[in-house]
Amino acid sequence: MGGKEVFIKSVLQATSIYAMQCFLFPKSLCRKLESIMNKFWWSNNKTRRGIHWSCWERLCKPKCEEGLGFKNLSISSTKIGSYPSLTWRSICSARELIDEGVLWRVGNGDRINIWNDPWLPGHGNNRVVIQNIRPSWTTINQLIETVSGTWNRELIHHLFDEDTAARIFAIPFVGDSSDDFLT
């Protein structure tokens, strides 16, 4: 496992990050690269299959936080690091401004956290104003009727105030299986 860790960090991730210094990678490519690294990490050397005991995000946590210190290829989670270039320092200083303007677009709803992520349309705060977090519901797809593929109006009225419910119902949802994405 130590050899795999070194290979992922020094070859797979280093090559990707080097290329990302010059080229903008689409998020789908970043996810695909992370998926390849995750499969390689969990694969058995004989059958090339394996059980994924943990998600990639958890493996990207520092070792002091019980992760493995792999790099997450998303810019919003990167650190400035030692001896950064002026360009990289500028990008990192603008990250807070970028994060303020980011909004999740609802696809299938399985990646958006109801209580933490910015996903409500309109001006002002794009996050749910937390009155009482209900841990039974964590992602947007739980607010969708699986049979009809529409918003679960009764549940939404039960969980949120009228203003928030109106903002949720204003989100066009067509019940497709496309991924959620940041805009």
pLDDT, tens only, 28-53: 888 888 888 888 878 876 666 776 66
Across 46-73, b (16+ Cβ under 10 Å) vs e yields eeeeeeeeeebeebbeeeeeeebebbbb
Return the ∠ at Cα 71 (arms to 66 and 72), rounded to 5°. 100
Q: Are 120 and 126 in contact (CB under 8 A)?
A: yes
**98 is written with which tokens?**
């970028």
pLDDT, tens only, 44-85: 766 667 766 677 777 777 777 777 777 777 755 566 777 777
